[in-house]
């Protein structure tokens, strides 16, 4: 049984670009409708190792919930098995330089958390924390609920 990594992804930018990204993300993945499909942006191979290389996690987002904060901002909260979709976001960010991506993640069973922020197609912040520092850093970015959600 996999440990679950809790993720929060905030995408901001011009209203039309945010809407296009949101619409593309909501699709059918692994035969089920979902609010966030990694494969809609970066095709995933059929095998787990290939998906880890392509997305950073073994499977599509689980239990994805989307919230529209405004026309210029949309947020997803979702689970991934054992690790966050860092490799996926590192591929998607440069393809959408008009958007900003802020991914915050936590996997308390393994004792790590982190953040990846991409703006104008380039990484601005990439950090991973462990132990007590992970919880403190999550609190600092207003995401300490991720530590409790996994």
Q: Where are the domains of the chain?
A: 4-149
Q: What is the pLDDT of residues 28-75, one digit of tens each?
A: 766 778 899 999 999 888 888 888 999 999 999 999 999 999 999 999
Homologous superfamily of the 4-149 domain (CATH): Api92-like domains (3.30.70.1270)
**CA–centroid distance for 90 within its chain:** 10
Q: What integer pLDDT is reported at residue 116 of this predicted model?
A: 95
Q: What is the pLDDT of residues 127-139, one digit of tens each?
A: 998 988 888 888 8
Q: Calculate mean pLDDT across residues 97-117.
A: 94
Strand (E) or helix (H) holding 54: helix 48-55
Statement: the pTM of the whole predicted model exceeds 0.85: yes
């Amino acid at each position: 049984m996999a440990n679950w990594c809790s993720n929060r992804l905030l995408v901001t930018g011009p209203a039309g670009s945010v809407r296009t990204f949101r619409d593309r993300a909501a699709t059918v993945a692994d035969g089920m409708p979902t609010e966030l499909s990694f494969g809609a942006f970066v095709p995933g191979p059929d095998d787990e190792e290939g998906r880890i290389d392509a997305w950073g996690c073994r499977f599509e987002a689980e239990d994805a919930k989307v919230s529209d904060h405004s026309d210029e901002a949309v947020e997803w909260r979702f689970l991934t098995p054992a690790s966050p979709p860092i490799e996926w976001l590192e591929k998607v960010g440069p393809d959408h330089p008009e958007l900003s991506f802020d991914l915050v993640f936590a996997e308390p069973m393994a004792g790590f958390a982190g953040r990846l922020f991409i703006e104008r197609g380039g990484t601005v912040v990439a950090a991973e924390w462990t132990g007590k520092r992970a919880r403190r850093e999550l609190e600092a970015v207003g995401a300490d609920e991720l530590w409790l959600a996994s």
